[in-house]
Amino acid sequence: MRTLALVPAEWVDRQYAVFLFAGILLAGIGTVVVFALGVAAYARRREFHYLLITLALGALVVRTGIGLATVYGLVPMTMHHLLGHALDFLVSALVLYAVYSTR
């Protein structure tokens, strides 16, 4: 059985690990705050394009989570890149459709 330890993956250089974790932590806090603001805006307006933007912001939160899981060795680097680029595409598509669908 695999235990979860808060130890970086073997590819993480130990001397820079604290900076990597700090960057991911700040990104996580920032994306969660912006996502929460998006949820609040959607709850207030209840318009389709607000929902699309909120979903895009949620995808950014997921992307940060994938980054953190990769650093801990829970997500392989190949999957990290595949999922990261897929989420980039999803965010772009949602934002472009939100702009396109706005009257």
pLDDT over 90 percentage in the chain: 68
- Look at residue 2 in the predicted model and tell me its pLDDT: 61
Report the distance separating Cα 12 and Cα 67, nearest Å. 12
Tell me the average pLDDT across 50-69: 96
- Look at residue 18 in the predicted model and tell me its pLDDT: 83
Provide the pLDDT confidence category of residue 3 given band limits of 50, 70 and 90.
low
Tokens standing for 97?
Answer: 């459709």
Q: What count of Cα atoms within 13 Å lies in the side-chain half-sphere of residue 61?
A: 17
